[in-house]
Amino acid sequence: MARKTENTGFVCINCGADVPPIASGTIRNHCPGCLCSLHVDMDIGDRLCDCRGLMRPRAIEYHSQKGWQIFHRCVACGFERKNMTADDDNLDEILKIMRNSAF
């Protein structure tokens, strides 16, 4: 029952996009337009963190089992986390991060 609340839409605080819940059943944890996320989870999907800082995409990494992952960093507290990319993520933005990343 609790897992149902994980997959909800939200309004992106970075670009203002109205982000709908993801269609494929995985957890929507970042904006598909600007790829920014919000620091609201202690563990993925639990929404127990009250930091609420903007998590900016810092780098893109490839994981052999999980596929492409976005490396997010919270601008408020410096917390870092990897998130899986979604099917409708903005490819231009992903390529831009790849070019700019230090990896």
Nearer to Zn ion, 15 or 98 (CB): 15
Q: How many residues touch Zn ion (CB under 5 A)?
A: 14
When asked if residue 39 is in the footprint of Zn ion (CB under 5 A), the reply is yes
Three-state SS for 34-81 is CCCEECCCCCCCCCCCCCCCEEEEEEEEEECCCEEEEEEEECCCCCEE
**From candidates 23, 42, 44, 77, binder to Zn ion by CB under 5 A:** 77
**From candidates 6, 10, 14, 84, binder to Zn ion by CB under 5 A:** 14
Contact assessment for residue 54 and residue 75, using Cβ atoms and an 8 Å cutoff: yes
Question: What does residue 38 show for φ and ψ, rounded to 5 degrees?
Answer: -120, 140
Q: Where does this chain bind Zn ion (CB under 5 A)? A: 12, 14-15, 17, 31, 33-34, 39, 51, 53, 74, 76-77, 79
